Amino acid sequence: EALRCIRTHEWKYVHRHPNGPHELYDLKNDPDEFNNLYQASQPKVAVIAPRDELRPASVQTVSDPAGGSFASGSGSTPGSAAVRDDSAGRDDQAAPEEARHAERDGDFVQQRLHDRLNAFFAEYASPKYDLYNGGGAQSFIYDGVEEEIAQAAPVEPPALPEGYTPQQFTLPDGFSAQLVAGPPLVNHPTMGCFDDTGRLFICDGDGVNMSAAELEAKLPNHIKMLEDTDGDGRFDKSTMFADRMTFPMGGAWHDGALYVASPPNIWRLEDTDGDGVADNRDILVDKFGYTGNAASIHGCFFHPNGRLYWCDGYHGHEIKDAAGNLTSQKKGSYIFSCRPDGSDVQIHCGGGMDNPVEVDFTDEGDVIGTVNILYTRPRIDCLVHWQYGGAYPHREAFLEEWPVTGELLEPIHKFGHVAISGTMRYRSGVMNHNWRDNFFATQFNLGKVVRLELERRGSTYSVTERQFLSCDNRDFHPTDVIEDADGSLLVVDTGGWFYRGCPTSQIAKPDILGGIYRIRRDGMTTVPDPRGKQIDWAARSETQLMQDLKDTRYAVREQAVQECVRRGDAVVPKLASAVKNADLTARQNAIWALTRMLGQNDQANVAITAPRDEPRRATVRTTYDGTSGSLDSKPQNLHFARVQGNGKVGQTVEPDSAMPRHAERDGY
């Protein structure tokens, strides 16, 4: 009852009670329902198409336990009522001929559809459950995700300070930007992440440039938790989640806690009492060198295999285990990983580069990331496919501490001297289907966000760069780009404060404050419950969980994987079956779920290595020690399965124990 839908052969209209978002689709020209044509600001619409086009399939009346009834029909949505309008007998022949031409030209028909929808429910809706006219909600309608019955009252964000003006951007046609968090919610935001409920954790600061010693003495920076309490897409509440930090840069939410790199340590921050403040602040890994110029540790990032990743700049590290034993001491720049509890710290790859910033992962597990000064003379910032065991430019001193078997590996894309910063893989494809699995990256110096089209080339990728967002204001400095679950993008502007080590920012301007902007495509299709907040995960059956592994919402798929891990033994047989019989997306996620269980469940070890003979195309990378059953990053234990579809069964490549460091040239 909160959602009503009417569809004809050529049109579909969705109305949500009480105030939207509503949707209108031209099914003839847009059968995938990609472009939402609803225009609340344009109430004038054309007369709808002739009656024959609107003649529906029959409508069923379903009785409910309370004695009322509701209508259902094809095209219905879980938790909604839908109907194909059956208004035979109305005389549409009186409609002017020019109006019919207008209909065929695609003029909006929403008002006519809205009227017919209301007329249908006026006749068939049970008054007891007619929310539109003062009724209540049924306790249960469908076995699925229900629409929210009530919407929160509007909440206005705090007023912006006097003199603060949001940035103006150049965007592709049909896109718009909106300031969704400015001062005083945030002042100088840098990098952040969402949790599984939609709260944004953002690193913020006082806009000061300090040395490492000064940062540790004064601890001027912090992490804020931003909330959108009324669901309008703008953040209206800010809580100090973690104060008194050195220079936090990044964050990843996992299993109820925030993992963040703030030199010299990797931290796990947890709010145990629900007040929005981290009362548990645990150091997972230390220590990493830094000078205060931002070329230090960034992160964290969770790989699909469940391991925690982060990047480290060229200032060296000295890592000890829980017993105080030195496990690694090097001067170079490296990509690290460990288990979520901080154990089993491993080096993924390394080089003499200055500052790797962020990484993200493909569905198959490839590690793609941004790096500053991969080359020098001239300086070149790059996008890199970080191969396991790979050795990268540019300082030769690095060669003394890392095994190298040939030439140094190269990037997959060169940006030039742009001060590349945050990056992310676009998972949903909501803004454009063709952009799914593209990467977005921020260019601090140029004030731009670029879109990066990746295409497979052998064992790695080729890249085409497209400009997505630019700003003429030289004090606009984007540091991160984050995908929200609805498919929109958040672009983080840190303002004008930073200059330490940045050759183009000669003067610190802490008075120029930053902000966070939401980028959307006009008419973007609304994603119902994009984070799966309405799903009762504890009540999901094992069969439902397997279906959730291939849900169209990427945030729901990730939660389904983690729920499988929580259940452990009970769900392994279903996961093993999914690995053999499910479609590609479900197979990949089933394997990732089993991977995260390795070392906890012997059945998981067996299931993940079981032979798979049926044709399909899948690329899955699982790191696994076959002896102990523990997660490991050693190349001899790398299980890399690539199976080709289109009627062919490909080869499963088992790495040699003496796999050279330059895996890219050896087909890995």
Give the residue among 77, 40, 37 at the shortest CA–CA distance from 524: 37
Question: pLDDT band at residue 81, thresholds of 50, 70 and 90?
Answer: very low
List beta partners, residue 347: 336
DSSP letter at 496 equals: B
3-state helix, strand, coil in the chain (%, to 5): 15, 30, 50
Task: Kindly tell me if the per-residue pLDDT of 638 is higher than 90.
Answer: no
For 158-196, what is each residue's pLDDT tens digit? 999 999 999 999 999 999 999 999 999 999 999 999 999
Give the residue among 446, 331, 459, 475 at the shortest CA–CA distance from 381: 446
- Domains defined along the chain, listed by start: 3-133 (no CATH), 175-521 (2.120.10.30), 537-666 (no CATH)
Give the residue among 151, 143, 153, 125 at the shortest CA–CA distance from 1: 125
66 HSE (CA, 13 A, CB side): 13
Name the one residue in this structure whose structure tokens are 């609340």: 40
Tell me the percentage of the chain whose pLDDT exceeds 70. Answer: 75
* 3-state secondary structure (DSSP) of residue 513: coil
* 3-state secondary structure (DSSP) of residue 218: helix
Question: pLDDT band at residue 134, thresholds of 50, 70 and 90?
Answer: confident
- SS3 annotation, 605-644: HHHHCCCCCCCCCEEEEEECCCCCCCCCCCHHHEEEEEEC
Residue 15 burial by Cβ neighbours in a 10 Å radius (0-12, 13-18, 19+): buried
What is the length of the chain? 668
Return mean pLDDT, the chain.
81
Question: pLDDT band at residue 111, thresholds of 50, 70 and 90?
Answer: confident
d(Cα 572, Cα 590) in Å, to the nearest integer? 9
Give the residue among 349, 262, 339, 269 at the shortest CA–CA distance from 299: 262
Question: pLDDT band at residue 74, thresholds of 50, 70 and 90?
Answer: very low
Cβ pair 306, 340 in contact under 8 A: yes
Give the residue among 658, 555, 573, 564 at the shortest CA–CA distance from 610: 573
Give the residue among 113, 2, 109, 14 at the shortest CA–CA distance from 56: 113
- At 601 the pLDDT is 63
Task: Kindly tell me if the per-residue pLDDT of 483 is higher than 90.
Answer: yes
Triad 370, 480, 517: Cα angle to 5° = 150
Cβ pair 476, 406 in contact under 8 A: no
For 343-392, what is each residue's pLDDT tens digit? 999 999 999 999 999 999 999 999 999 999 999 989 999 999 999 999 99
For 234-246, what is each residue's pLDDT tens digit? 999 999 999 999 9
d(Cα 490, Cα 606) in Å, to the nearest integer? 41
d(Cα 513, Cα 186) in Å, to the nearest integer? 9
d(Cα 121, Cα 123) in Å, to the nearest integer? 5
CB atoms within 10 A of CB 625: 17
d(Cα 222, Cα 203) in Å, to the nearest integer? 6
Q: Which residue has the higher pLDDT, 651 or 552?
A: 552
